[in-house]
Amino acid sequence: MSEEERVYTVPLGKAWIAQRYRRAEKAMMVLKKFTERHMKPTAVVIDPAVNEYIWARGIKKPPRKIRVKMTKDDEGVVVVELAEAEQ
């Protein structure tokens, strides 16, 4: 049971290219794309706390960057969690 764990600061600036009323949705897509590029998963599971953090200020003003911990298990499933949650 070897798990691979990495902590990343994901830039979400590309979400600000989208229309104002779709920025939080775009930020979630950017996060998923970043995870696929860096971790090469078979499936991505985003923790609800990450979703709430991105949507906290509404659909128009997601954060510019987010610090997350990505954990990959033996089957290739990657779980994305907030890095500050364990402290």
Sorted by where each begins, the domain ranges of the chain are 4-71
What pLDDT score does 3 carry?
87
pLDDT grade, residue 87 (50/70/90)? very low
Report CA dihedral (35, 15, 23, 65) to the nearest 10 degrees: 70
pLDDT in tens, 54-84: 999 999 999 999 999 999 999 999 999 999 8
CATH fit for domain 4-71, picks 3.40.50.1970, 3.90.320.10, 3.30.160.100, 3.10.440.10: 3.10.440.10
Q: Could you tell me which of 62, 51, 50 has the C-alpha nearest to residue 17?
A: 62
pLDDT in tens, 39-56: 999 999 999 999 999 999
